Amino acid sequence: MGATTGIGALSLIHCFSKSHTLSFASFRTLPRFTCSFSSSINFNISFAPPKPKPKPKSEPNPDLDLQPDVSSEPDGPLLIPWIVRGEDGNLKLQSEPPPSLLKVIATAQTGTRKDSNQTKTTAATSKPQKIRSTAPPQHSKAARRFYNQNIKEPSGARLSKVLAASGVASRRSCEELIFEGKVTVNGSVCNTPQTRVDPAKDVIYVNGNRLSKRQPQKVYLALNKPKGYICSSGEKESKSVISLFDDFLNTWGKKHPGVPTPRLFTVGRLDVATTGLIIVTNDGDFAQKLSHPSFNLSKEYIATVDGSIYKRHLIAISEGTTIEGVHCVPDAVELLPRQADMQRARIRIVVHEGRKHEVRELVKSAGLEIHSLKRVRIGGFRLPPDLGLGKYIELNTTNLNALGWKS
């Protein structure tokens, strides 16, 4: 029996549990019965006398018409008792049905069940109903202010990152400019590189020059680095790999009017004597992810070695060596077949940590001397064989996916 479920004394009397007994006399002769429970709870319930059956009509009698009809209505209203269980768990008697029952009756669905075939026919022939769009809930000004100050994440990007992306300088150099007080945001000097700014909304000046509202698009380039160039973007470096992109940067203004020239830098490094594949971009997040050791991006090198190579040399390289206190082991070591136009032997070495001079140290630990070293693959992207030294290509979405980058 539910907490507030009502039970009609007559129609639902059989729903009592076996622990409850109900004894009463005939309803026709006795208008009162006693309900007793095993929990020593007694109810005295009174019923109104039954409504008498209508008498057959007879001829009117003048003597009887003068007397009032007192037997047509009962003495009082009809009482229907409801036995419910209260919040304290005890049974109680009340004259009105419980509110929960009235609510269920009021919300009950009524009507005849429609045929499914008829419903499908009606849906096919009827016109589609337009769904009314409801307006978003309106919040007070105080609620919006509290949300913006305490819950909503700040929009925009860090000031140092915005300056570096706009081509002002490297991120570290931009932080130095901010600390020196050479950067203003909306007319005030800003000394915090972590300040969130939006170039499209905020007015930013660097050394008295207004920063453009438009940011340069992300650029991804693959370069076949020649020997003798260093992987540095400093302006004082005469033979930097960035100088190989002068034609690309000089024509940027014609292809993208109104957009500042991007500041290019390399993803990782190759020493001055190593040639081959290197990625150049202006996307700091892309460069950080690809160059971080936790990304486990494999890199393949071809080492041309002086002298003869024996099996013991390959075993020594595969066992690894210690570099800067860390034992580095290559992923793969393979002796490539000799080519007709080359007298020196070549070894294919695959590493993933990318520590400084790792491949050179591996070959040196085996007692061999490298004549030349070339990187031919990063991740799933391989250096195109027809790409000449000092030449570059722009990477498309397929190439970036091969590198493991999903923008």
Q: Indicate which residues carry an active-site annotation.
A: 271
Burial category of 268 from C-beta neighbours within 10 Å (exposed 0-12, middle 13-18, buried 19 and up) = middle
Q: How far apart are alpha carbons 188 and 213 in whole angstroms?
A: 18
Pairing state between β 369-378 and 275-281: parallel
Q: Comparing C-alpha atoms, which of 359, 362, 350 is closest to residue 317?
A: 362
On the 0-12 / 13-18 / 19+ scale of CB atoms within 10 A, 225 is buried
> What separation in angstroms does the CA of 290 have from each of 13, 283, 349, 382, 402?
79, 11, 19, 15, 12
The C-alpha atoms of residue 197 and residue 161 are separated, in whole angstroms, by 10
Amino acid identity for residue 234 in this structure: G
| Of residues 267, 272, 246, 229, the one with CA closest to residue 395 | 267
**Could you tell me how many helices (H) and strands (E) the chain has, helices first?**
12, 23
Helix (H, G, I), strand (E, B), or coil: what is residue 60? coil
Range list of β-strands (E), 95-218 = 157-158, 183-185, 188-189, 196-197, 204-206, 209-210
Identity of the amino acid at 133 = S
